[in-house]
Structures are given as C-alpha cells and as structure tokens.
C-alpha cells in the first residue's frame, strides 16, 4: 500500500492528483497518515505512530484507518 | 505530556464549478445546555433519546403572540390546539397563560375536561363527533364547530330529543389563493354551501349560531391568504347581520401559522423565509378593523395556533450509534432515534447540532434512525462535524406534532422532560416499557405455550 509517486501533497493537508486533475483536502491526522504512506511505512507502524501520539483507542483507529485508506483507493491516490 | 485530542482522518474532494453563493458552515457551535441545564446531564439522568420541553419558551411564545395581536385588535382569544402537543403538562402551561382548548376528537375533548378547562372554553372541531360526544359538548356549553351536513342534522335532531340549545359555529372552507386549496373541512364559501348551512342553523330553534370558523391550511407561508379568509368570514358576518339582524360573537381563523423550521425542498432556511406572527396579525386585523363593523359589533378573534407557539420550545436529544460509509462514498451516521420518534423529519430538514466540541473539519452525511427500515432517514444530507459512536446531538424545534404523532414502532417511546421556569426538570411522560405496551394485549389460552426448546 503506497502513495502514487506523482501525488503532490503539502503540510497543510492539500493533495493534488495530476493524473486526474483532482484536488483534495485532508485534516491533521490525514496529513500525518499521508506523510507516513509517502515514507512507505507499513500499516502497523502507522497505527503505532498515531496511537502513541493521539488520544485514541487502537481498535477505533484501525476502523477509521481502514475507512480512510478505502477512500484513498477510491480517489486513486494509492497505487 | 498528554496525548493530542483525536479526530478521525478525513479526506474530501474539492469541487469547483458548483459554488453555492450562500456557502456552507464549516464551524459548528456545540449546544451544551438547554435553558441552563446541561445536555449531558439530561441524557445521563433520563436516557437517550429524550424529548425536552422548555416551559419558559412556551410562555415567551404565548405572551409574544398575545401581545402582537392585542396591540392591533381589542378582542383576542387563543385556543390551544391539543393535537399539536397534548401532553397534559404542556396544555396546562397554555391554560395557565389563558388559552382555551381546541380539540378535534372525543378523546381530546375528555383530555381538556381532565385539564379542568371549563366546558364553555372548549372548541370542538373535527369531522368525527359521535352523538354521545355532541350531547356532552352541548350540555357543557362548549363551542361546537360543525363540519358537514350530516353533523348539522344530527345535532339538530339530538338537540330536539334532549332539549338542548348548543352554541355552534360553521366551519367554512374557501379559495384563499393558495395551492392546495383546503376544501375538506366545513362548508364551501364560493358555491353557497356555507350560507345554506348558516341559514339552516339560524332557522333552527335548537341551535344558537355564535361564530364562524375556518382552517385554511397548515404551515402557511402567505399572510395574504389569511387576509382573504378574514375578508370572506367578515362578508358572511355582515350578511348575517343584514339579513337576520344577528350579531356573531366571534370569528375563528383557525391555525396554520408556521414555525421557523425548514420545509423539505426549501432552498433557504425557515428562519429566512417564514413570515413573522406580526405579518399574519396585520393581515387579519387590518381586514376586520377596516370592514366597517360598529365598535360594539366587533367580533372576538379566536386563533388556534399550535406549531408557532410550541415548536421552538421542544428539543430532541440523541446519541450516535455508529458511523459507516455507503457504497457511493457518502458518510452515514446512525442515531438512536428515527422517524418513529421524530415524526416531523418526514416534513422538515431539522436543524441538528452537536453537543461535543469538534475541530473545524466537517463532512456531508446522511442521518439514519435505528429502525430496520429503508425509510428511516432523519436528514438526507447534512454537513456535520466528524461524528463518532457515542457523540450526542440536539435536534431543534420539535415541540409540535412529534409528541402526539410519534409512532410506537420497533422501539419504545422515550421520556419527555419539562424544564420549568426555575430550570428544574420534571418527567412529564415516562418512557414506555414492554409491560406498558402489552397491557392491552390478550393471548388466547391455546396460544400461551409453544414447543420450542
């Protein structure tokens, strides 16, 4: 699960897909996930990193991450 | 160092080319209390979902509407529309403020008597009145509003048989320039039916015609329609005086004033489009005062407003059961109340507020109820903060019709709590239990057992 190479991102949560011309905005946690995906971090590391930093139960975050990643796939942001 | 507050990840496509010139709100003010009482404490104490009614707001609404009409016209009387909300506590707030009772069934009539409303201050409307109910209303000197010829002739017969002389009014329907035209209640003005009924009553020795009534529609957005209706009732009143030398005591313009809710399909919110009560008062009173009645002949103006006086005094508190994503990518939020509890979600796009604080991000979502039914949709599309299981919500302006039209279907109906003038809370209708629900059920002896193990 990797971010497509041509996807442009910003630290403020702006995402641009030059392949489709679509722009997206994401929130703070979304930006962090995108940045971890860019570094090719596996899903377990993403979960570990976010749960260490934010006040969230691991099961809750796994559910939310699944949902978020499925949206990234729908928007053809992931490879 | 503590952990940072969590908000689930969200991504939204940025659309161009379909700008809404009014924009959408991206920040939501949480509603943490109602009349100074914490929403969370209400839910902790009385459960979720929960209807909450503000006594203060009812009184404010009533006093405001009365002031608006009384500053324009000398003889005003409000009659509380029982069907809008017939919780006894709610009815009593209105009666304490001076409202009569307006009822549309025998059951509501008995409720009004139970609330110690004097018989002569009960208006009996509706198309379904049994002989027994008509006799009781006549004996109590109530105002009987006659809906159709069958009722008129029944009442004449009953009055003769029982030596009664009930006070009656004719319900008149008419073209007020609105669509759909409400012509199912009473006798038609344009085709002469109303005049025929009036003539028949005046010629009867057993009925006393004391007023005229109309109910031109519901959630009326046109004050002009009331001006037209008032003019037609004044025309009948004038003709009765000229032809029979009889002065009517009152004109009853019925109900129908809207609340500030937003009707489904409306482009702008109700708060921007709904006329104020002042505009309706102007439309009605200008016509009566300008019609030429002598000062002593000015009729009492009765109003049967329901929704406009109670809607914004009612709140529904609820809880998020789950969130999920639909096949087309939309967010779905499932709540612990649905169309069974919030019946008016069939008509309105209710304003819904979060109780907790959220970040600036929002998303569009569907709000579903808990019923295993496809129709159970509270809001088809609403922009809300990133809700999660366990979050609480407040639905606004639910005081009218929900607590009388709600359905006991799939789930049990919840507590209703009244917040009084001193901000004390009182349960005014207890949440239903299985025992209560099965109270009137009877199982035949041969069906009391089965062989399942």
DSSP calls for B256-286: ----SPPBTT-SS-HHHHSPPHHHHHHHHHH
DSSP for residue B345 = G
pLDDT of residue B181: 83
Report strand pairing: B314-325 vs B50-54: antiparallel
Contact B75, B393 (CB under 8 A): no
Please check whether residue A27 lies inside any domain of the structure.
yes
pLDDT of residue B129: 97
Please check whether residue A3 lies inside any domain of the structure.
no
pLDDT of residue B183: 87
CA of A71 vs chain B CAs: smallest distance (Å): 8
Band the pLDDT of B21: cuts 50, 70, 90: low
Contact B9 A64 (CB under 8 A): yes
CA of B329 vs chain A CAs: smallest distance (Å): 8
Report strand pairing: B143-146 vs B425-429: unpaired
**pLDDT tens by residue, B365-421:** 999 999 999 999 999 999 999 999 999 999 999 999 999 999 999 999 999 999 999
Please check whether residue A1 lies inside any domain of the structure.
no
Q: Out of B4, B9, B14, name the one closest to residue A27 (CB).
A: B9
Contact B11 A26 (CB under 8 A): yes
Please check whether residue A49 lies inside any domain of the structure.
yes
| ipTM at complex level | 0.96
pLDDT of residue B271: 86
Please report residues of A whose CB lies closer than 8 A to that of B3: 53-56
pLDDT of residue B137: 98
For chain A, list residues whose CB is within 8 angstroms of any CB belonging to chain B: 15, 22-30, 33, 53-56, 60-61, 64-65, 67-68, 70-72, 74-75
> What percent of chain A has a predicted confidence (pLDDT) above 70?
100
Comparison of pLDDT for B133 and B360, the residue scoring more? B133
Band the pLDDT of A7: cuts 50, 70, 90: very high
Kindly state the average pLDDT of the residues B2-10: 91
Contact B359 A27 (CB under 8 A): yes
Q: H or E stretch including B426?
A: strand B425-429
Q: Out of A53, A61, A75, name the one closest to residue B11 (CB).
A: A75
pTM, full prediction: 0.93
**pLDDT tens by residue, B316-328:** 999 999 999 999 8
CA of A42 vs chain B CAs: smallest distance (Å): 17
Please check whether residue A79 lies inside any domain of the structure.
no
Q: H or E stretch including B121?
A: none
Please report residues of B whose CB lies closer than 8 A to that of A72: 11
Please report residues of B whose CB lies closer than 8 A to that of A47: none
> What percent of chain B has a predicted confidence (pLDDT) above 90?
87
By C-alpha distance, the chain A residue nearest B387 is A64
B22-26, B337-341, B417-421: the lowest-pLDDT one: B22-26
Superfamily of domain B33-52+314-432: Lyase, Ornithine Decarboxylase; Chain A, domain 1 (2.40.37.10)
pLDDT surpassing 80 at residue B17: no
How many beta-carbon pairs under 8 angstroms link A with B? 64
Kindly state the average pLDDT of the residues B26-48: 93
Band the pLDDT of B28: cuts 50, 70, 90: confident
Q: Best residue in A56, A75, A76 to probe B by mutation, most B CBs within 10 Å?
A: A56
Q: d(Cα A30, Cα B361) in Å, to the nearest integer? A: 11
DSSP calls for B348-383: B---EEESS---S-EEEEEEE-SSSSTT-EEEEEEE
Helix (H, G, I), strand (E, B) or coil at B328: coil
By C-alpha distance, the chain A residue nearest B9 is A30
Q: d(Cα B36, Cα B14) in Å, to the nearest integer? A: 39
CA of B367 vs chain A CAs: smallest distance (Å): 18
Comparison of pLDDT for B146 and B28, the residue scoring more? B146
Report strand pairing: B143-146 vs B76-81: unpaired
In which domain, by residue range, is A63 found? Answer: 8-74
By C-alpha distance, the chain A residue nearest B15 is A23
Please check whether residue A45 lies inside any domain of the structure.
yes
Q: d(Cα A75, Cα B386) in Å, to the nearest integer? A: 20
Q: Out of A27, A65, A75, name the one closest to residue B13 (CB).
A: A75
Q: Best residue in A17, A51, A64 to probe B by mutation, most B CBs within 10 Å?
A: A64
pLDDT of residue B18: 61
CA of B14 vs chain A CAs: smallest distance (Å): 5
Band the pLDDT of B359: cuts 50, 70, 90: confident
Total of domains in chain A:
1
Note which residues in 334-393 of chain B have CB less than 8 A from chain A.
Answer: 359, 361, 386, 388
pLDDT of residue B296: 87
Kindly state the average pLDDT of the residues B259-271: 89
Domain boundaries defined on chain B: 33-52+314-432, 54-311
Residue B329 contacts A, CB cutoff 8 Å: yes
- CATH topology for B54-311 is TIM Barrel (3.20.20)
Band the pLDDT of B275: cuts 50, 70, 90: very high
Contact B6 A71 (CB under 8 A): no
Contact B364, B402 (CB under 8 A): no
The overall average pLDDT reported for chain B is: 95
pLDDT surpassing 60 at residue B44: yes
**pLDDT tens by residue, B166-201:** 999 999 999 999 888 888 899 999 999 999 999 999
Q: Which residues does B442 contact at the CB level (< 8 Å), separation at least 6?
A: none
Please report residues of B whose CB lies closer than 8 A to that of A29: 6-9
pLDDT of residue B19: 60
pLDDT surpassing 70 at residue B104: yes
pLDDT surpassing 90 at residue B309: yes
CA of A29 vs chain B CAs: smallest distance (Å): 5
pLDDT surpassing 60 at residue A66: yes
Please check whether residue A66 lies inside any domain of the structure.
yes
Contact B336, B370 (CB under 8 A): yes
Band the pLDDT of B27: cuts 50, 70, 90: low
């Amino acid at each position: 699960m990797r971010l497509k190479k041509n996807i442009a991102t910003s630290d403020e949560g702006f995402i641009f897909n030059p392949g489709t011309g679509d722009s997206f905005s994401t929130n703070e946690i979304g930006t962090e996930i995108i940045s971890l995906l860019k570094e090719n971090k596996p899903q377990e590391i993403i979960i570990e990193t976010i749960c260490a930093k934010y006040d969230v139960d691991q099961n809750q975050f796994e559910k939310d991450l699944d949902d978020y990643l499925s949206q990234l796939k729908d928007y053809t942001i992931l490879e | 160092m503590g952990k940072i507050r969590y908000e689930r990840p969200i991504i939204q496509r940025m659309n161009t080319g379909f700008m809404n010139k009014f924009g959408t709100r991206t920040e939501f003010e949480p509603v943490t209390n109602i009349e100074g009482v914490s929403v969370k404490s209400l839910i902790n104490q009385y459960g979720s979902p929960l209807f909450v009614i503000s006594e203060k707001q009812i009184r404010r609404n009533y006093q405001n509407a009365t002031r608006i009409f009384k500053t324009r016209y000398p003889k005003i009387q409000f009659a509380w529309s029982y069907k809008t909300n017939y919780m006894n506590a709610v009815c009593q707030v209105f009666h304490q403020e001076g409202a009569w009772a307006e009822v549309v069934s025998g059951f509501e009539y008995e409720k009004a008597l139970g609330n110690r409303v004097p018989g002569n201050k009960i208006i009996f409307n509706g198309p379904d009145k049994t002989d027994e109910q008509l006799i009781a209303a006549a004996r109590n000197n109530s105002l009987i509003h006659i809906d159709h010829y069958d009722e008129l002739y029944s009442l004449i017969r009953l009055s003769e048989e029982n030596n009664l002389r009930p006070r009656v009014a004719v319900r008149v329907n008419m073209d007020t320039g609105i669509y759909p035209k409400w012509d199912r209640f009473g006798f038609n003005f344009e085709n002469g039916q109303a005049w025929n009924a009036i003539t028949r009553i005046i010629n009867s020795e057993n009925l006393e015609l004391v007023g005229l009534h109309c109910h031109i529609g519901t959630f009326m957005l046109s004050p002009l329609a009331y001006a037209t209706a008032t003019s037609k009732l004044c025309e009948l009143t004038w003709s009765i005086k000229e032809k029979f030398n009889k002065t009517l005591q009152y004109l009853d313009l019925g109900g129908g004033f809207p609340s500030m809710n937003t009707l489904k399909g409306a482009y702008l919110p109700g708060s921007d489009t709904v006329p104020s009560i002042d505009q309706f008062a102007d439309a009605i009173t200008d016509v009566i005062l300008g019609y030429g009645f002598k000062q002593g002949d000015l009729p009492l103006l009765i109003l049967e407003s329901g929704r406009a006086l109670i809607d914004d005094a009612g709140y529904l508190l609820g809880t998020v059961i789950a969130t999920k994503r639909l096949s087309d990518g939309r967010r779905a939020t499932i709540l612990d109340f649905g169309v069974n509890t919030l019946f008016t979600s069939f008509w309105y796009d209710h304003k819904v507020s979060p109780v907790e604080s959220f970040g600036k991000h929002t998303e569009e979502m569907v709000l579903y109820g808990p019923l295993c039914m496809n129709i159970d949709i509270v809001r088809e599309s609403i922009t809300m903060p990133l809700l999660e299981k366990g979050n609480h919500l407040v639905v606004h302006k639910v005081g009218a019709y929900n607590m009388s039209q709600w359905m006991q279907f799939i789930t049990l109906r919840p507590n209703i709590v009244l917040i009084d003038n001193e901000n004390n809370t009182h349960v005014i209708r207890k949440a239903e239990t299985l025992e209560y629900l099965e109270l009137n059920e009877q199982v035949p002896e041969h069906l009391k057992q089965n062989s399942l193990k």
